Structure formats: C-alpha cells, structure tokens
Amino acid sequence: MGPEQHRLLQAAYGLMPQGVAENYRFWGPDRTVFVQSAKGCWLTDCDGKRYVDFRLGYGPIILGYQDARVDAAVIEQIQSGATLTGFSTPLDLQVVEKIKALCPQIDKVRFANSGTEAVMGAIRTARAFTGRDRVAIVEGGFHGLYDEMMWKTDLEQWDPSSGQRPPVIPFGAGIPEKSRDLMEFIRLNDAEGLQQLFEFKGEELACVILEPIIGNAGSISATPEWLAMLKSLCHQHGALLVLDEVKTGFRVAKGGAQSLYGLHADLTTFAKAMGNGYPVAAFGGRADVMDRIGSFKGGVVHGGTYSANLIALSAANATLDILMNTPALEVAHHVGSQLMAILKSTLHEAGVPVQFAGPPSMFGVHLGESVPTNYRDWRKTDNRLYEKFAWAMIDRGVMLEPDSREPWFLCEAHQTLDLDWFAQVTRDAIAHALKT
Ligand SMILES: Cc1ncc(COP(=O)(O)O)c(C=O)c1O
C-alpha cells in the first residue's frame, strides 16, 4: 500500500466506519485499496500502481470497465431522455424483452437496484404464492445483506472429524435471532439431506433458493442430477425453486446457469453482469407466480424510488444487446480457459495440486486433490496457501480476492492480456507463496 492510499485510509477512519464505504473493502490497515481509475480489465490505484483485475467489482463487469458502447448508451439517455421520473417508459419493455429472449424461463420481470433487493422481491413473491413462510438455503451460498439470508455455516469453528454438523451463525451483529426461525439449511449435492428436508419440512416450505454454481464458494457446482431432484421435490411438495443468478446470470452463459443445466426455476434473480457495473437488478419467472405482485388487494408489494431508473435500464439495454449480438461472452470464456490452463501447468510445475470448479468466465481455484462438491469440502483445500499465493499475485499486479471462495471473474476486455506475462507472474507468485 503506497503513501497516498495510506494517507487516504488515515483520513477515512474519521469519516466512515473502519474507513471504508462498505465492509468488504477493508483489507486491513496496510492493504486497503483506493482506486483512482479503471479501464478495460485494468485498475490503477491511488499510488499509480496498475493491476489486471479478476475481482471486477465482485463480478458485474462482463465487458470491461468503462465500456464505450454501454457508456455511450447511458450518456445518450441522460442527454436525450429522462433519468428518473417515477413513471413507466418504453425502455422498461425493451429490457424485459431482451431478458426474455435470453432466458426462456422468464415470463414476467420486475426491476430492482441490487441483488439483495431482487432476492427480497423473489422470496416475498414465493411466500405469497405458496402461502408459506419457510425458506431453505444451501450452505456456502450468499444471497445478499437481507437479515433472513444472513446465516451461515461456521466452518472456522468446525472440526470435520467431530461427526457433528458445523454450527450455524449470523454473518455479524444486529441480525435478529428470530430471523433464523424460518430458515432451513441444506448441503449442495447431498441427496439424503434433501430427502430429509422435504420429509420433515416439505409442506411448510415456500421455496428453496440457491446459486447452482456457488459464486460465493469458489464456483462449487450442483450436479445436474441433484438439481433435478431438488426441482422435482420442490414441485411434489408445492414449494418453488428460486435460482439466484445474481452472479451467474448473463455471465456463465447468455441464458445463465439454467441454460447450462437445461433446467428452469420458477423464479430467478439477476443483477451484476446485466448492467456491466451500472447498478441494475431484476427478478422474474413464471407468469402465474409473478402475477401475485401488484397493488390489488392481497397483492405482493414491490417497488422503490430508484427501481427501473433510466441510467440503470439504458446500461442494461446496451449490455444485454452486446451479450446477445456479439461474441463477448465467448471471448471471456476463451481467455478464462487459457488462464486455467496456465494456472494448472505453473502450479503443477511447482508441485501444487490444483482443481477448478465452475465455467471459465467465473472459475474457482482450489488447491487440493479433488474438486469440492459442497462448502464443507472447500475446507479440505489448502486455503492458507491460496491466500499467500493471492497476495503474491496482487503484489505482482494481478488483483484477486485473497480468499479462494471468491471465483476469478473474466470479462471481454481480458482478451488484451499478455499471457506470457501472466504465466511468469503466476510462477513467481507460487514460488514466493511456497517459501513464506
Ligand atoms: C448470489 C448473490 N445473490 C445476491 C447478492 C447480493 O447482491 P448485491 O450485492 O447487489 O446486493 C450477491 C452479491 O454478491 C450474490 O453473489
């Protein structure tokens, strides 16, 4: 961390809790990054150091930072139309039509401003449709900062050899104990656990919500068989399947994870890649479910001052248009495959076993002998070595999350990356990590 960032952090301590605008930006007193600018796949920090970025703002950047095509559409909207009026516009319809063209499971859509809000809308709608309150989530998944979803399996305090289940704890302070009462927890790819959930709680469940490719646990993925079993059990018991595609939507494939699995949810949430970094989100799905939303008596309340604002929608319209009509995603996938091949060979050369989970545009790197099949397995990978490796990569100009639960995100602009340089950095970083 250079002197200017150090100065900024010292000043920020007096202005924001922990000196940052949101918790996840605090990387410690010597590591917190202040960004000056971002363009394509590059970030420049406030001390002038450049990094090729694989965090991409937690995943929304799918084309590149400051993509000229998306920015031009937003600027045109600002100059020639309105940005926010609290009324409907033709753009609302255009964006929904694009989402429907890419995702055949979607009949109807409502907009939101963040993934968290999209999840809240989907869960409320599922509860209204089923007349039930209970919700099941998958260990290791993440569904935003919404109290009921902010419970997690505590693997830090868990001894895998104990034969006990890991404890479930809140993400942090201020989460009401009662918000856990309606939650159930299942393990990805655990068929027996799924049977038990439905046997004991099936008739109380409004929905099961999950990321089929867990973008918050190293892209560990549901098997197609398990996901199909989950869908069928949901429907046998009158519950809905909600797939949270906030990270995977319009990224892992044009039609998201559901198009890779060939399986469709009742409700889906979207955000991130949908707007290439502009804050836009949505949820949608079956018409009979979505039609429970409305201002009629007994309808689900959904709304918000900034919902479907025209900055967000013009960005979504342009981004979806590019994803539909250009090979941008194929490009991101291709570079991702090349990077995985380089990581595999350089880490193997260094004697470090490595496995990959998830698709090339959002791949998880797991240092171990086998690909984790659920969150508890992730604990068996060498996360300490990964962390050292990630810090060594960061020091050498490759920006990563120093936690292997966050996948590597690719964007179209990564096609400009010098792969020889990347291979050399990887070799140096793993050698350094093994020495420390
Ligand atoms: C799968 C998933 N759902 C929901 C969210 C919450 O989205 P947001 O941060 O936009 O509120 C995230 C954020 O990373 C996510 O990965």
Domains of the chain listed by start with CATH number: 33-62+327-435 (3.90.1150.10), 68-325 (3.40.640.10)
Ligand 1 pocket check for 359: Cβ under 6 Å: no
Give the chain's radius of gyration (CA, Å).
22
How is residue 196 annotated by DSSP? H
pLDDT of 164: 86
| Contact of 427 with 419, CB cutoff 8 Å | no
Q: Whose CA is nearest to atom 8 of ligand 1?
A: 115
143 lines ligand 1 (CB under 6 A): yes
Binding site membership of 247 for ligand 1 (Cβ less than 6 Å): yes
Do 107 and 290 contact (CB within 8 A), yes or no?
yes
- Mutational pocket test of ligand 1: of 23, 56, 116, the residue with most ligand atoms within 8 Å of the beta carbon: 116
CA atoms within 13 A on the CB side of 54: 29
Residues 6+ apart with CB under 8 A from 306: 84, 113, 312
* Cβ of residue 251 lying under 6 Å from some atom of ligand 1: no
H helices within 131-164, ranges in order? none
- Ligand 1 atom nearest the C-alpha of 117 is 11
Q: Contact, 402 vs 291, CB < 8 A?
A: no
DSSP characters for 185-244?
A: EE-TT-HHHHHHHHHHHGGGEEEEEE-SEETTTTTEE--HHHHHHHHHHHHHTTPEEEEE
Give the distance, in angstroms, between the CA of residue 50 and the centroid of all CA atoms in the same chain.
Answer: 25
CA separation for the pair 118, 293 (Å, rounded): 13
DSSP 8-state assignment for residue 167: P
Q: How far is the CA of 428 from the centre of ligand 1 (A)?
A: 33
The pick from 143, 171, 258, 283 for probing ligand 1's pocket by mutation, whose C-beta has the most ligand atoms within 8 angstroms, reads: 143
- Asked if residue 114 has its Cβ within 6 Å of ligand 1, the reply is yes
Helices 310-325 & 68-80, crossing angle to 10 degrees?
A: 140
Going by C-alpha positions, the residue among 419, 242, 310 that lies closest to residue 85 is: 310
Per-residue pLDDT of the chain (436 residues; tens, 9 = 90+): 899 999 999 999 999 999 999 999 999 999 999 999 999 999 999 999 999 999 999 999 999 999 999 999 999 999 998 999 999 999 999 999 999 999 999 999 999 999 999 999 999 999 999 999 999 999 999 999 999 999 998 888 888 788 888 889 999 999 999 999 999 999 999 999 999 999 999 999 999 999 999 999 999 999 999 999 999 999 999 999 999 999 999 999 999 999 999 999 999 999 999 999 999 999 999 999 999 999 999 999 999 999 999 999 999 999 999 999 999 999 999 999 999 999 999 999 999 999 999 999 999 999 999 999 999 999 889 999 999 999 999 999 999 999 999 999 999 999 999 999 999 999 999 999 999 8
Give the position, in ligand 1's atom list, of the atom nearest the Cα of 248.
1
Give bridge partners of residue 137 from the DSSP assignment. 185, 209
User: Distance, CA 390 to ligand 1 centroid (Å)?
Assistant: 23
Q: Is 53 in the pocket of ligand 1 (CB under 6 A)?
A: no
Kindly report the pTM of this predicted structure.
Answer: 0.97
CA of 163 to the centre of ligand 1 (A): 32
Q: How far is the CA of 188 from the centre of ligand 1 (A)?
A: 19
Strand ranges inside 381-435, DSSP E: 398-399, 408-409
pLDDT value, residue 347: 98
* CA of 115 relative to ligand 1 center, distance in Å: 4
Q: Which helix (H) or strand (E) segment is 168 a member of?
A: strand 168-170
Query: CA 219 to CA 31: how far, in whole Å?
Result: 25
* Alpha-carbon gap, residue 219 to 59, rounded angstroms: 12
Task: Give the CA distances from residue 359 to residues 25, 190, 331, 339, 371, in Å, rounded to whole numbers and listed in that order.
Answer: 26, 21, 13, 12, 13
- Residue 78 φ then ψ, to 5°: -65, -40
CB atoms under 10 Å from CB of 165, counted, come to: 12
Backbone angles phi, psi at 138, to 5 degrees: -105, 135
248 Cβ inside 6 Å of ligand 1: no
Which of ligand 1's atoms lies nearest the C-alpha of 114? 10
Q: Is 215 in the pocket of ligand 1 (CB under 6 A)?
A: yes
Q: Which pLDDT score is estimated for 357?
A: 98
CA of 142 to the centre of ligand 1 (A): 7
CA of 246 to the centre of ligand 1 (A): 6
Instruction: Specify whether the CB–CB gap between 144 and 122 falls below 8 A.
Output: no
CA 252 – CA 273 distance, rounded (Å):
10
Tell whether ligand 1 has an atom less than 6 A from the beta carbon of residue 277: no
Atom of ligand 1 nearest to the CA of 279: 10
**112 alpha-carbon distance from chain centroid:** 16
Mutate to test the pocket of ligand 1, among 56, 150, 246, 247 (most ligand atoms within 8 A of CB): 246
